[in-house]
């Protein structure tokens, strides 16, 4: 056995190693891209189906195996349709060369300061029932959405954020998009979710927040103008009735370098 392993190792050339590193890198990038999206749940389902197919063949359960094989074929054909947003995003990133861009990430102090400013702003906005939609960009680039708004590119502060959403000011309508500790743009237009199962009380502000999190790994903070309720959208889901502190607790893990050291190192968006 040991000799066999030694034999295999001795046949591995430098080129094979390079080959394996590239494949591992691409697979890792794919995982990062679909992590925290609904695509990951679909992928897990697919793996379960694959394992069931192998086991049924191994046990000689012919009818089940035939059914699973047919299901696999249908699923494989449906896959590009279901994964269409993720595939589009991957190809876009590849086209823009973002896949290999040098990156920077926020250190812990910058993260805490960002959370503090965000928390303070949201508390004031909620208390005064000022509607707000704040998108926190993560690894998926949101440049297309930034372009729909008014470019700002300023350091985040609670005063700045509050000012953006003061009613009847030019930028209050739409979403503010944050990249790292900078506000990139305000008044941005986001895609609305088509989820019909959502609470009918939720209007377009909340639907836009959920919509962008279905198409990216962004986290979105919403303050309701009607009720002052603070919510957080992520991965197509909405968590409601938060306060500034619980909001910060929910957001912190999404941005800590401990949680995403490798991902951040490779992916965190460049300030541009
Ligand atoms: N596609 C969109 N992209 C960005 N912002 C949007 C979008 N659609 C609506 N909004 C914002 O939401 C506001 C309208 O919110 P609406 O009252 O319909 O939603 P809501 O979810 O009920 O929110 P609220 O609880 O604050 O009333 C708009 O004035 C605009 O600022």
pLDDT in tens, 172-222: 999 999 998 899 999 999 999 988 888 888 999 999 999 999 888 899 999
> Shortest CA distance to 242 belongs to which of 250, 209, 234?
250
Mean pLDDT of all residues belonging to the chain: 84
101 within a domain of the structure (yes/no):
no
Pair (226, 157) in one structural domain: yes
At 264 the pLDDT is: 40
Per the CB < 8 A criterion, the answer to whether 73 and 67 are in contact is no
From 69, 96, 123, give the residue that closes a domain: 96
> How far is the centre of ligand 1, averaged over its atoms, from the C-alpha of 204 (Å)?
4
Per-residue confidence band for 10, with pLDDT thresholds at 50, 70 and 90:
confident
pLDDT at 91 exceeding the cut of 80: no
Domain-embedded: residue 69? yes
Separation of alpha carbons 211 and 209, rounded Å? 5
Condensed to tens digits (0 to 9), the pLDDT of residues 152-176 reads 989 999 999 999 999 999 899 999 9
Q: Which atom of ligand 1 is nearest to the CA of 131?
A: 26
Instruction: Flag whether 23 is in a domain.
Output: yes
Q: From the CA of 269, how far away is ligand 1's center (Å)?
A: 27
Residue 33 domain boundaries: 2-96
Q: Phi/psi of residue 232, each to 5°? A: -130, 125
Question: Residue 103 domain-assigned?
Answer: no
35, 59: one domain: yes
So what's the ipTM on this one? 0.96
Residue 6 lies in a domain: yes
Task: Name the band, by pLDDT with cuts 50, 70 and 90, for residue 268.
Answer: very low
Residue with the bigger pLDDT between 246 and 6: it is 246
Q: What is the pLDDT of residue 140?
A: 79
82 Cα–ligand 1 center, Å: 27
Instruction: State if residue 179 touches ligand 1 by the CB under 6 angstroms criterion.
Output: no
Is 102 among the domain residues? no
Q: Which two tokens stand for residue 239?
A: 């968590």
Task: Tell me: do 173 and 261 sit in the same domain.
Answer: yes
Residue 113 is predicted with a pLDDT of 92
For ligand 1, the distance from its centroid to the CA atom of residue 114, given in whole angstroms, is: 24
Do 27 and 81 sit in the same domain of this protein?
yes
C-beta atoms surrounding 221 within 10 Å: 27
Residues 154, 240, single domain; the answer is yes
Quote the pLDDT of residue 97. Answer: 59
Of 45, 70, 96, the last residue of a domain is 96
Question: In this structure, are 129 and 222 located in the same domain?
Answer: yes
Q: Are residues 154 and 247 in the same domain?
A: yes
Strand residue runs (E) in 76-212: 132-137, 150-155, 175-179, 182-188
Contact 203 CB / ligand 1 (< 6 Å):
yes
Residues 117, 59, single domain; the answer is no
> Which of 65, 96, 127 is the C-terminal boundary of a domain?
96
Which residues, 6 or more positions from 270, have their beta carbon under 8 angstroms from its beta carbon? Answer: 101, 102, 103, 104
166 with 266, same domain: the answer is yes
Q: Residue 176's domain is classified under what CATH number?
A: 3.40.1700.10
Q: Which two tokens stand for residue 143?
A: 């440049």
How many residues appear in the chain?
A: 272
- With a cut of 60, say whether residue 266 has pLDDT above it: no
Same domain, 196 and 264: yes
Q: Which of 9-18, 160-169, 235-244 has the lowest mean pLDDT?
A: 9-18
> Do 163 and 42 fall within a single domain?
no
For ligand 1, say whether the CB of 161 is within 6 Å of any of its atoms: no
Strand-pairing partners, residue 178, are 136, 183
Q: What is the number of domains present in the chain?
A: 2
One domain for residues 81 and 187: no
pLDDT of residue 52: 94
Distance of CA 245 to the CA centre of its chain: 22
Q: Would you state the structure tokens that stand for residue 61, as one six-digit string?
A: 């359960």
The DSSP bridge pattern shows strands 132-137 and 175-179 to be parallel
Is the pLDDT score of 9 beyond 50? yes
Q: What is the mean pLDDT of residues 221-230?
A: 96
Classify residue 18: in a domain, yes or no.
Answer: yes
Phi and psi, residue 96, nearest 5°: -85, -5
* pTM for this predicted structure: 0.67
């Amino acid at each position: 056995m040991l000799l066999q392993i030694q034999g295999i190792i001795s046949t591995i050339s430098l080129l094979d190693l390079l080959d394996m590193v590239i494949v591992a890198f691409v697979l890792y990038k794919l995982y990062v891209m679909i992590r925290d999206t609904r695509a990951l749940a679909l992928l897990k389902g697919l793996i379960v189906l694959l394992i069931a197919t192998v086991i049924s063949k191994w046990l000689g359960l012919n009818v089940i195996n035939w059914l699973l094989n047919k299901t696999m074929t249908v699923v494989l054909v449906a896959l590009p349709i279901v994964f269409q947003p993720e595939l589009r995003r991957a190809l876009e990133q590849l086209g823009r060369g973002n896949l290999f861009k040098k990156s920077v990430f926020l250190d812990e102090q910058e993260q805490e300061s960002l959370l503090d400013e965000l928390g303070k702003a949201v508390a004031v906005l909620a208390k005064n029932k000022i509607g707000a939609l704040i998108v926190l960009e993560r690894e998926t680039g949101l440049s297309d959405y930034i372009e729909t708004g008014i470019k700002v590119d300023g350091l985040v502060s609670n005063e700045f954020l509050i000012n953006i959403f003061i009613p009847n000011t030019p930028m209050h309508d739409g979403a503010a998009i944050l990249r790292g500790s900078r506000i990139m743009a305000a008044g941005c237009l986001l895609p609305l979710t088509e989820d019909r199962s959502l609470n009918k009380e939720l209007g377009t502000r909340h639907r836009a927040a959920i919509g962008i999190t279905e198409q990216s790994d962004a986290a979105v903070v919403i303050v309701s103008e009607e009720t002052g309720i603070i919510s957080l959208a992520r991965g197509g889901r909405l968590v409601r009735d938060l306060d500034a502190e619980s909001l910060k607790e929910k957001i912190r893990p999404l941005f800590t370098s401990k949680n995403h050291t490798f991902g951040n190192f490779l992916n965190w968006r460049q300030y541009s």
